[in-house]
Each structure stands twice: as structure tokens, then as C-alpha cells.
């Protein structure tokens, strides 16, 4: 059975828009029968790239064609990601194996690495007609401090955009690692974030956030002034947590630090007194 001429014309038009590649699902939607697809494969008109994805006419596919083929192989909602996305944004050289994020399970190969994960609409953009993760999502997936520095230096993103993206990923696997990679504070609670901003508004010296003193990690550390501030949620009222807090205080003192505890409850009402107490501790050194 031969396809209608107008169907073939639509196929060629789509292939041209897609850098010389097309999927079996697209061919079927355009009215090309399965028997014809098989005939075209046998005759060398279609060249297999991935399962159900073909190059049209010859197998010499461009880099963007390979990326488009990877996206098509990932299925609906897929996008080129990780190192391949970094290459599309000009941050890395292209590599032989393509990366793609897909919301549903897809089989990979030696030429295609499929990462099964959900991806929000605002985390996807287009490059040369290919769906690709945004610079911010790409940096989140690759998590390389050098690439983050390069992306900011070249104006591909900003520290403010990376900070906003990191905050939107709070609680997601890899969020704290990403925050560290791009030099952003890795908060452990919503109150920590609010408190850090409060410190900035009041003109306090910038502390280290979630820094280790000895073997203990503390919320805010001023190294030069030898002061630590711990922000405490409601769970700090339990006997077990109070005992742990006392051990933390002793640990800080053993390393020459004064520890100030700031409960989250009724903080707004106590904020002036808290500010005075922290200033006093910082100036006492």
C-alpha cells in the first residue's frame, strides 16, 4: 500500500523542521501505514537511530538532529537534559551519549541515557526547535560549580535566578547539593531562610549557613566573632531535643564559640530583643 502523495509531502516538511529525523508515531499520525514504514526502512529511506525513531534519507545526522531524535525517543513530555542540555546551551562539548528526561519509563541504550523524572513546564525551553531543559534546570541536574560559574559569567542565567530555582526545589532530592554547588545557602527549614533574610535586612555581618564546627553542624556561624546562632522550631521543646541542644552548646563552647538560641515561636514579637542579643554577642568578642 502506497501512501498518499500529500501525506509524503507532510512527512518531508516535518523531517525538515526536525533536523532530518522523525518518529514512527509521527509517521502513523501523518497517515503513513505500518507496511510502508517497514518498506522505507528496508529500502534505506529510514535509518534506525533509536527504537521507533529514524533518520530520513541517510544516517549522517547533525548534532541538533541527534538531540531531536533523543527527545522523540523519550516520548511525550520528554526533553534533552543533563550534559546534552549543557552542550545545547554551549556550556559543554557534545558527547556521544545523549541524555533525555522522560516522565514515563523508556528504554535507553549505549547512545541514549533516559532519566525518568517529572519536569515542570517552566523548566523546559527550546533550542533550534528541540525541547531542552532550561539553563537553571540543566545546572540543577549536572550540579557542577564550574558550569554554574560559566553560565553566570556568560549571562545565561543570574545568581538571583539560581537562588529562586533552588528555593523552589526545597525538599526535592538533590536540592541541598545544588545549593552548595552554586554557592547558595542550603537551608534546613523555612524559618532558617526567613531568619537569614532578616539578618540581612538589619545589616548583620554575613554568617556561614549550616556550617560545621568540629563534628556539629550549626545554623549560622560567625567565625571571626566566634558566635553561633541556632534557630529552633517547636520540636525543640521535647526532652530529647533539649538534651541534644545542651550537648550542642557544650560542643560549641569547647571550640570557643558562644551559642545563641532563637525560638521560632512568637519571633516577630521578640525580634528587637533577639537583634540586641545577637549584636551584643558579636561585639563581645
pTM of the model: 0.70
The pLDDT of residue 60 is 84
pLDDT tens figures, 34-59: 999 999 999 999 999 999 999 998 87
Q: Residue 184's closest CA among 212, 158, 216, 205?
A: 158
- pLDDT class for 1, splitting at 50, 70, 90? very low
- pLDDT class for 241, splitting at 50, 70, 90? confident
> Range with the lowest mean pLDDT among 16-30, 169-183, 203-217?
169-183
155, pLDDT greater than 90: yes
Question: Average pLDDT, stretch 248-271?
Answer: 94
pLDDT tens figures, 62-107: 999 999 999 999 999 999 999 999 999 999 999 999 999 998 887 8
Burial class (CB in 10 A: 0-12, 13-18, 19+), 94: middle
> Range with the lowest mean pLDDT among 1-10, 96-105, 131-140?
1-10
Distance, CA of 32 to CA of 39 (rounded, Å)? 11
Distance, CA of 74 to CA of 79 (rounded, Å)? 7
Q: Residue 9's closest CA among 33, 30, 35, 26?
A: 30
The pLDDT of residue 4 is 55
Question: Average pLDDT, stretch 239-257?
Answer: 91
279, pLDDT greater than 70: yes
- pLDDT above 90 covers a percentage of the chain that reads 71
DSSP sequence for 39-108: HHHHTTSEEEEETTEEEES-S---HHHHHHHHHHHH-TT-EE-HHHHHHHTTSS---SSEEEEESS----
Q: Residue 124's closest CA among 87, 85, 158, 168?
A: 85
Dihedral pair phi/psi, residue 133, rounded to 5° = -65, 145
Q: Are 259 and 228 in contact (CB under 8 A)?
A: yes
250, pLDDT greater than 90: yes
Rounded to a whole number, what is the distance in angstroms from the first to the last CA of the chain? 88
Residue with the larger pLDDT of the pair 179 and 199: 199
The pLDDT of residue 142 is 94
Average pLDDT over the chain reads: 91
Distance, CA of 281 to CA of 189 (rounded, Å)? 24
**235: Cα separation from own chain's centroid:** 30
Strand partners, 55: 21, 47
**176: Cα separation from own chain's centroid:** 11
Amino acid at each position: 500500500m502506497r501512501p498518499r502523495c500529500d501525506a509524503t509531502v507532510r512527512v518531508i516538511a516535518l523531517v525538515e523542521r526536525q533536523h532530518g529525523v522523525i518518529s514512527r508515531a509521527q509517521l502513523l499520525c501523518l497517515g503513513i501505514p505500518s507496511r510502508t514504514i517497514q518498506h522505507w526502512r528496508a529500502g534505506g529511506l529510514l535509518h534506525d537511530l533509536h527504537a521507533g525513531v529514524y533518520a530520513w534519507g541517510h544516517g549522517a545526522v547533525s548534532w541538533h538532529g541527534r538531540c531531536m531524535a533523543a527527545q522523540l525517543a523519550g516520548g511525550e513530555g520528554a526533553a534533552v537534559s543533563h550534559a546534552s542540555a549543557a552542550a545545547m546551551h554551549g556550556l559543554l562539548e557534545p558527547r556521544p551519549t545523549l541524555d533525555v528526561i522522560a516522565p514515563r519509563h523508556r528504554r535507553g541504550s549505549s547512545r541514549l541515557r533516559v532519566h525518568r523524572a517529572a519536569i515542570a513546564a517552566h523548566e523546559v525551553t527550546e533550542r533550534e526547535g528541540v525541547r531542552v531543559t532550561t539553563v537553571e534546570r540543566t545546572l540543577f541536574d549536572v550540579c557542577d560549580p564550574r558550569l554554574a560559574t560559566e553560565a553566570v559569567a556568560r549571562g545565561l542565567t543570574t545568581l538571583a535566578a539560581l537562588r529562586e530555582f533552588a528555593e523552589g526545589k526545597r525538599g526535592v532530592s538533590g536540592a541541598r547539593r545544588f545549593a552548595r554547588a552554586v554557592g547558595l545557602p542550603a537551608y534546613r527549614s523555612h524559618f532558617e531562610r526567613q531568619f537569614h533574610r532578616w539578618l540581612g535586612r538589619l545589616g548583620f555581618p554575613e554568617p556561614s549557613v549550616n556550617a560545621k564546627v568540629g563534628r556539629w553542624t550549626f545554623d549560622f556561624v560567625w567565625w571571626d566573632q566566634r558566635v553561633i546562632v541556632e534557630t529552633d522550631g517547636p520540636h525543640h521543646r521535647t526532652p530529647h531535643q533539649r538534651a541534644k541542644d545542651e550537648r550542642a552548646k557544650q560542643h560549641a563552647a569547647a571550640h570557643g564559640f558562644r551559642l545563641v538560641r532563637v525560638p521560632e515561636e512568637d519571633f516577630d514579637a521578640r525580634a528587637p530583643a533577639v537583634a540586641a542579643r545577637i549584636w551584643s554577642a558579636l561585639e563581645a568578642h
